[in-house]
Amino acid sequence: MSNFKFKKRYGQNFLKDDKTLNEIISNITVKPKSLIIEIGPGHGALTKKLVLLDADILAFEIDLEAKEELDKIKSSRLKIIYKDFLSVNLSDYVKDYENIYVVANIPYYITTPIIEKIINSNIKVGEMVLMVQKEVADRFAAKCGTNEYGYFTVYLNYYYDVKKICNVPKECFYPQPKVDSAIIKLTKKSSNEFINPKDLFAFVKQCFKFKRKNLKNNLSNYNLSTISEVLKRYNHDLTNRAEDLTLIEFIDIYKSLKSNFGM
């Protein structure tokens, strides 16, 4: 590793703490006929532990300079694809698997695009165990009514139960980043009722458009009377902000507007 040139553009901070690596492994619930997708294996510290599990491993690594180290990991169940994860068609790789897991140490600037890609790919990902920036983990796992709670919190909770496992100090990485990280676990929810997620979250995004403004201001282009009637059922009104509403409340407002006005 001493001759390896770390690249800021890839957000390369390799996890070196064995206790943290084992914490990630312990949170993966592998079932038969499983595939684990690892995003950004780097020098393979986590990959070496993943290949010991009873699953096939598919790793996506963008940096060809990591190939020398990754090639040292000998396992018939490991396949490494040297491509940008965000550019691949995931369905081409996962057709034969009933249970899919995603494991990754994700640079903060592509955390959201990676999760959105996985969700929009419509592959059967039952769990994700992700290392992300601590502040990002706090937003993803935020509770309704807190400052960290936002649009992406609601979006993520539509698809997954989100659990923050633990914080990970910056000293656990090499080179050492400027911020601490955290491990989060996402567990797939049962299918939601028949709602068009694209339309629902276009509405939710509008609710959060100006975070400091209340619902009356952010939703002035919608029928406020209908919205107000739904809010009353939850002891809310139009002076509440979007951060005060749960996923269920957003869905109920959306359904009422859809039913009465077709959105």
**Cα–Cα distance for residue pair 84/10, rounded to 1 Å:** 10
Residue 165 φ/ψ, nearest 5 degrees: -85, -55
| CATH class of the domain whose range is 8-188 | alpha beta
Same fold, 8-188 and 197-261: no
**Cα–Cα distance for residue pair 102/39, rounded to 1 Å:** 8
- In the chain, what are the domain boundaries? 8-188, 197-261
Average pLDDT on 225-253 reads 97
Pairing of strands 181-188, 34-39: unpaired
| CATH class of the domain whose range is 197-261 | mainly alpha
Tens-place pLDDT, residues 139-191 = 999 999 999 999 999 999 999 999 999 999 999 998 888 899 999 999 999 87
Tens-place pLDDT, residues 68-112 = 889 999 999 999 999 999 999 999 998 888 899 999 998 888 999
Question: Residue holding tokens 């790919």?
Answer: 121
Residue 192's pLDDT is: 64
Residue 189 φ/ψ, nearest 5 degrees: -85, 160
More confident residue, 95 or 198: 198
- Per the CB < 8 A criterion, the answer to whether 263 and 257 are in contact is yes
- Crossing angle of helices 247-261 and 224-233, in 10° steps, is 140
Helices (H) and strands (E) in the chain, counts: 10, 9
Q: Is 123 exposed, middle or buried (0-12, 13-18, 19+ CB in 10 A)?
A: middle
Instruction: Single out the residue of 95, 94, 52 nearest to residue 77, CA to CA.
Output: 52
Residue 12's pLDDT is: 61
Residue 96's pLDDT is: 81
